[in-house]
Amino acid sequence: MIVRRCVSIAAIVTLVIFVRGLEHRSLRSYGFPRHSCSTRLFLSGVWLGLAALGMLLVSGLITGACRIEVTSDHLRLWRTVIGFFPIAFLVSILEELVFRGFILQHLLSYSKTIGLVISSSLYSLVHLKHLNIELSTWLELGGLFLLGFILGLSYLRTRQLYFAMGLHAILAYGSRINKLLVEFPNPSISWLVGTHRLVNGLAGWTMLLLLGVIIVSWSRLRQQGGLHGT
Does the structure show a pLDDT above 60 at 218?
yes
Share of the chain above pLDDT 90, in %: 56
7 pLDDT band (50/70/90 cuts)?
Answer: low
- Look at residue 8 and tell me whether its pLDDT is greater than 70: no
Q: With contact defined as beta carbons under 8 Å apart, do 147 and 208 qualify?
A: yes
SS3 68: strand
CA–CA distance, 19 with 25 (Å, rounded to integer): 6
How many angstroms separate the CA atoms of 9 and 58, rounded? Answer: 35
Could you tell me which of 147, 128, 127, 120 has the C-alpha nearest to residue 53? Answer: 147
Element (H, E) at 62: helix 38-63
Predicted local confidence at residue 230, as pLDDT:
44
Mean pLDDT of 84-97: 89
Phi, psi of 63 (to 5 degrees): -85, -10
The domains of the chain are located at 2-11+41-223
On the 0-12 / 13-18 / 19+ scale of CB atoms within 10 A, 191 is: middle
Do 96 and 31 contact (CB within 8 A), yes or no? yes
DSSP run (H or E) holding 48:
helix 38-63
88-98 mean pLDDT:
89
Among 81-90, 98-107, 163-172, 183-192, the range with the most confident prediction by mean pLDDT is: 163-172
**pLDDT-above-70 percentage for the chain:** 89
pLDDT of residue 128: 82
Which pLDDT value is given to residue 91? 87
Question: How far is residue 25 CA from its own chain's centroid?
Answer: 25
Q: What is the tens place of the pLDDT at every residue in 121-144?
A: 999 998 887 777 788 889 999 999
pLDDT at 228: 45
221 in Cβ contact with 229 (< 8 Å): no
Region 200-206 average pLDDT: 93
DSSP code per residue over 114-167: HHHHHHHHHHHHHH------SHHHHHHHHHHHHHHHHHHHHHHHHSSSHHHHHH
Average pLDDT over residues 184-206: 90
Strand 182-183 to 67-68 pairing: antiparallel
What does the pLDDT look like over 33-77, one tens digit per residue?
A: 888 789 999 999 999 999 999 999 999 999 999 999 999 998 999
Give the pLDDT score at 17. Answer: 73
For 144-188, how does the pLDDT look when each residue is reduced to its tens digit (9 = 90+)?
999 999 999 999 999 999 999 999 999 999 999 998 999 999 988
User: What pLDDT score does 220 carry?
Assistant: 82
Beta strands in the chain (DSSP E): 67-68, 182-183
Cβ pair 30, 97 in contact under 8 A: yes
As a residue count, the chain comes to: 230
Question: How many other C-beta atoms lie within 10 A of the C-beta of residue 109?
Answer: 8
